[in-house]
Amino acid sequence: MLKFENVSKRYLETGEVLRDVSFHLRRGELAFLTGHSGAGKSTLLKLIGVMERCSKGQIFLDGENLSHAKEKHIPYLRRKMGFIYQDYKLLQDRTVFDNVALPLVIAGYGHHEITRKVRAVLDKVGLTGKEKKFPLALSGGEQQRVGIARAVVNKPPIIIADEPTGNLDPELSAEIMRLFENYQQVGVTVLIASHDITLITKMNRRVLKLDHGQLVAS
């Protein structure tokens, strides 16, 4: 599903951030990406979302080569990935419904199709009845679930979460993790960047560990 082949990323200012990283996430696999801050976690995620391009090596998503993707093709690649962020990145002036509907609207779905899909996904993440609320009226855990609903509403084959539980207490974190496990069970590939060691140990899943830009365990 997601394959890194000898990927390096060098910035002019900070030098090499990722060095010769190779791994392969299979379809329906759930893995953690961990490492100390500055180890290159966020750079690796940016390479997956094609917000940055790698300096060396190649990245494949679902058989497509991200490193050679044309600028015009990037939006369509991003529709195959569900990104989840620590700060949720929700639009504060839109309702929960509108926030979750955004990827569907962008993909050109019709009105009733959007309503059906958004209701179904809000049901699944446990936000039934909150569709008309604004994000600021929700708790942190609920906002993160809106973020997850937006990421999965278009049924992407891969979910990439960047510190999804960073702002949540352990109980809420466990709930969010259960959601990810649900998606993994239906064949979605999930990659979670986190430095919450207790959570990672408890989950007992594959761990990709970065240290100074190099993959030390996978």
Partner 1 sequence: MNKNPNKRRQQTRDIKTPKYAKPAKSENRQNSEAGGGVADKLNAWRDLHAHALFSSLGRLVASPFSSVMTIAVLAIAISLASGFYLVLVNFQQLTNHLETSTQISLFLKEEVSDIRASKLLESIKNNPKVQQATLISKEQALEEFKTYSGFGSAVSALKTNPLPIVIQVLPKNSLTDKNELEALQHEFQQNEGVDQAQLDMQWLARLQSIIAVGERAAGLLNLMLGLAVVFITANTIRLELHSRREEVIIAKLVGATHAFIRRPFLYAGAWIGFISGIVAWFIVTVMMLILRSPVETLSSLYGGHFHLLFFGFVETIKLIALSTALGVIGSWAVLVYQLQRTKPE
DSSP conformation letters of 37-67? TTSSHHHHHHHHTTSS--SEEEEEETTEEGG
Residue type, 29: E
Which CB atom, from 105 or from 197, has the smaller least distance to partner 1?
A: 105
Candidates 127, 77, 136; CA nearest to 107 is 77
Which CB atom, from 124 or from 206, has the smaller least distance to partner 1?
A: 124
- Classify residue 26 by its DSSP letter: P
Classify each residue of 181-210 as buried b or exposed e, where b means 16 or more C-beta atoms within 10 Å of its C-beta: eebbeeebbbbbbbbbeebbeebebbbbbb
3-state class of 138 per DSSP? coil
Which CB atom, from 113 or from 211, has the smaller least distance to partner 1?
A: 113
| CB 156 to partner 1: min, Å | 9
CA 156 to CA 83: how far, in whole Å?
10
CA 160 to CA 183: how far, in whole Å?
12
| CB 135 to partner 1: min, Å | 12
3-state class of 79 per DSSP? coil
| CB 161 to partner 1: min, Å | 13
| CB 207 to partner 1: min, Å | 26
Which CB atom, from 80 or from 209, has the smaller least distance to partner 1?
A: 80
Which CB atom, from 107 or from 216, has the smaller least distance to partner 1?
A: 107
| CB 117 to partner 1: min, Å | 9
Which CB atom, from 77 or from 199, has the smaller least distance to partner 1?
A: 77
Listed in sequence order, the residues at least 6 apart from 86 whose beta carbon sits closer than 8 Å to its beta carbon are: 162, 163, 164, 166, 167
CA 68 to CA 73: how far, in whole Å?
10
| CB 49 to partner 1: min, Å | 7
Could you list the residues that contact partner 1 (CB under 8 A)? 49, 51, 72, 75-79, 83, 89-91, 94-95, 97-98, 101-115, 131-132, 150, 154
